[in-house]
Amino acid sequence: MPFVQVIKKNFEQHGLKALNLTLPFDEKLVLEINASYILNTLQLKELKIRFAHDSNDKKIIETCCPGKPIISLYTRVSLLLLFVNPRV
């Protein structure tokens, strides 16, 4: 139960505020506003911001909690092709 452990640790540090299940700001909106900065800084080609419950990964669903977003990095199989027209 990682979620309970996180709440317990936060309670020890922050008191009753740690029991709030919501934040005073919209986490997703903050990430969307800063998407171009995140893309450039991490040199990513694509960024998808999703809710934990939309994930297929059970570990993400169990671990993610308000104020503690999880970053998952994936690579796509790709192949760069160069076509040359010898008649030009």
pLDDT tens digits, residue range 51-72? 888 888 888 888 887 787 888 8
Q: What parts of the chain have a pLDDT lower than 50?
A: none
Secondary structure (3-state) at 78: coil
**pLDDT score of 77:** 86
Task: Measure the CA–CA gap between 15 and 64, rounded to whole angstroms.
Answer: 20
Task: Measure the CA–CA gap between 38 and 10, rounded to whole angstroms.
Answer: 27
Task: Report the mean per-residue pLDDT for the chain.
Answer: 86
